[in-house]
Amino acid sequence: MRIESDALQRMTPAEQAEFNLWESFLNSEGYEILCQFLQGQADSVHNVIQNPNSWDEHVYARGQRDALNMVLNLESILEARVSEMTVADDVAEFEESLQL
């Protein structure tokens, strides 16, 4: 995960510390191994969703898929959070400029 310096400068020290931790975690070998493992699980869950033995099994597998996707897409989710923060700051600055 790469955070542009402009976005990093706009963050509070607490937000910077949080995203530095996330970045360290996402760049670790452990996270890479975790994603490989979870991708295998996601493939198995996909097969159950496509051919369930019951409606309950289908619904349970969809929940598993959603949870796995949350972790597998963590980097994109965090990047979206940074973008939202940057856009919110830009909007606030624009609104302030209109009031002057």
pTM (2 d.p.)? 0.72
Distance CA 41, CA 76 (A): 20
83 or 91, which is more confident = 83
- 3-state percent breakdown (helix, strand, coil) of the chain, nearest 5: 85, 0, 15
Provide the CB-side half-sphere exposure for 83 (13 A, CA): 8
pLDDT on residue 8: 76
Q: Sorting pLDDT into bands at 50, 70 and 90, what band is 88? A: low
| pLDDT digit string, tens, across residues 1-54 | 777 777 778 888 999 999 989 999 999 999 999 999 999 999 999 999 999 999
Residues 6+ apart with CB under 8 A from 6: 86
Extents of the domains making up the chain: 13-99
